[in-house]
Amino acid sequence: MERVRVRFAPSPTGPLHIGGVRTALYNYLFAKKHNGTFILRIEDTDQVRFVEGAEEYIMESLAWCGIKIDEGIREGGKYGPYRQSDRKDIYRQYADVLIDKGDAYYAFDTSNDLDQLRIEAEKTGNTFIYNATVRNMLNNSESMPESEWRKKLDSGEPYVIRYKMPQNEEFHFDDVIRGHIVVNTDTLDDKVLFKSDGMPTYHLANIVDDHLMEITHVIRGEEWLPSLPLHFMLYRSFEWKPPVFAHLPLLLKPDGKGKLSKRDGDRMGFPVFPLFWPYGETAKGYREEGYYPEAFVNILAFLGWNPGTEQEIFSMDELIKAFSIERVGKSGSRFDPEKAKWFNHQYLQKRTDNQLAIEFREILRTKGHHVDIGELEDLVKLVKERVSFVNEIWEQTDFFFVAPEIYDSEAVRKRWKEDSPALLLGLRSELSKLDHFTPDVTEPVIKGWIEKMGYNTGSVMNAFRLVLVGSLRGPHIFDIISWIGKEETLRRIDRGIAVLSGK
């Protein structure tokens, strides 16, 4: 195979949606699998929809995911520039080539005229299609004598350049994911290739750039499938070899119907964007929600692709090795927030205690607690397998840092009995005899004491947990007292007895 070159070509019209990130990821995986080149091209031919900050957002998102750009607006490359607005001057000549060949023509119809025609067609239940059947009745260089359209051109009248779609032709083409597709050209229209503002439309710019940049494989979203025949047609007109096309299925919303949108994220409490979007209407991001990029990438990779084995956890390198376009599914995937959490849980378990302690220390700092990293490692060890995100560690360990102020009333009702104060007093005096508070010391002593006294283990331990934690949750009780220490343990027993027996 020739050297693989793929591109991810987003429009900077706002934050990059996770569907877009997945498209970028699949392009990247495919490129790297084949030792190829991954290109970032910015498609900003629509000046009106340009959004400040979007380019940076796209690049930061890819970087966070570990997707490295080989050629792009920042990286450069010998096929540059990589921003279409910077390539503005090269498109017109290609539109002219098509005109000279008779495959395109000038059209002078105004947007208003066309809107009107569409409305009228709709009234009779039809769809207005600008193509061979009506071309000669409209305002263009096909319907009028050359002298007339030359005059219009010379007088500076606004015009667009339209592709001249052939009439009644069975057009065959292939997509790696969809297979063989046949359409009749009569259902297609004479798409605008060059706008009256001097900019090309997506269709022209895309084909020209893909050709000039020697793109070998176009992997993009399914929303482009309807314009695929046009794109093949353009390659034919230019007599260029088309790249291989692969149209990815869409990402669907978790419930109900339709494709995933920002609203779904808001409604269901999960992000639809990789990173926080700070401009205008802000949006949550996976990074800020505590997802690891490795997990995020793994989740995305499995939305529409699978390796055909039972392995689910894949590093980027493993994904590159295992990836193939042929194993991408045909139907849209619903995003499942629950499974996304599970993935992050898996990745969190693989982190070392030291890594987690460092990450958790940041959260602790915002809460005003400063703790030695070694102690945090001990703490993290106790709860890591219970959490899916670093910020959940706090929810699991808050009572290590702050003695309970209030005691869960349900837990009190269930576990605080008449004899609880007496039992805890006994326990207290046993504990106060000990110098070392590690579990290997405290546990046998206390268990032995309970047995010797003939107490019920649950009665003692649950009451003990209640005064230590404030509720019935948390890790092994002897691990808790080991970490908070003797002094604090005794203090919590005293306070618990004082508060709870006074009720």
Partner RNA sequence: GGUCCAUUCGUCUAGUGGUUAGGACGUCAGGUUUUCAUCCUGGUAACAGGGGUUCGAUUCCCCUAUGGACUACCA
Q: Which of residues 340-369 bind RNA (CB under 7 A)?
A: 342, 345
Minimum separation from the CB atom of position 318 to RNA (A): 16
Q: Which range of residues in 26-34, 85-93, 178-186, 398-406 is near RNA by CB under 7 A?
A: 178-186
Comparison of 14 and 285: residue with beta carbon closer to RNA: 14
Position 404 contacts RNA (CB under 7 A): no
The residue assigned the tokens 């401009």 is: 279
Query: Which residue, 77 or 221, is less far from RNA as judged by CB?
Result: 221
Q: Work out how close the CB of 27 gets to RNA at its nearest, in angstroms, rounded to a whole number.
A: 15
Q: Which is it for the CA torsion 305, 310, 313, 318, positive or negative?
A: negative
Q: In Å, what is the CA distance from 370 to each residue of 270, 391, 405, 452, 468?
A: 31, 16, 21, 41, 21
Site map (CB under 7 A) of RNA, residues 188-227, x = contact: -x--x--xxx-x-xx---x---------------xxxxxx
Q: Tell me which residues in 450-479 interact with RNA (CB under 7 A).
A: 457-458, 461-462, 465, 472-478
> Residue 152 is which amino acid?
K
Residues 146-165 that bind RNA (CB under 7 A): 158, 160
CB of 198 to RNA, least distance (A): 9
Question: CA-CA distance, 166 to 239, in Å (whole number)?
Answer: 16
Q: Is the peptide bond preceding residue 81 cis, with omega within 30 degrees of 0?
A: yes
Closest of 487, 291, 481, 491 to residue 378, by C-alpha: 481
Site for RNA in 247-266 (CB under 7 A): 250, 252, 257-259
Strand order of the β-sheet with 104-107 is 104-107, 160-163, 192-194
The footprint of RNA on residues 92-111 (CB under 7 A) is 109-111
Contact status, residue 270 vs residue 340, Cβ threshold 8 Å: yes
With CB under 7 A as the contact rule, the residue among 3, 74, 321, 330 that binds RNA is 330
For residue 46, state whether it binds RNA (rule: CB under 7 A): yes
When binding is defined by CB under 7 A, the residue of 14, 271, 274, 304 that contacts RNA is 304
Of residues 262, 341, 381, 417, which has the active-site annotation? 262
User: Could you tell me if 58 and 9 are in contact, meaning their C-beta atoms sit under 8 angstroms apart?
Assistant: no
Q: What is the DSSP string of 124-170?
A: TT-----SHHHHTTSSBTTTS-HHHHHHHHHTT---EEEE-PPSS-E
- 88 part of the active site: no
Q: What is the nearest approach in angstroms of RNA to the Cβ of residue 41?
A: 9
Q: Smallest distance from the beta carbon of 243 to RNA, in angstroms? A: 16
Considering the complex, state which of residue 224 and residue 389 has its C-beta at the smaller distance from RNA.
Answer: 224
Rounded CA-CA distance 81/58 in Å is 17
Provide the minimum distance between the beta carbon of 278 and RNA in the complex, in angstroms, as a whole number: 22
Check binding of 409 to RNA (CB under 7 A).
no
Query: How many residues are listed for the chain in this entry?
Result: 503
Hey, which residues are catalytic here? Answer: 262
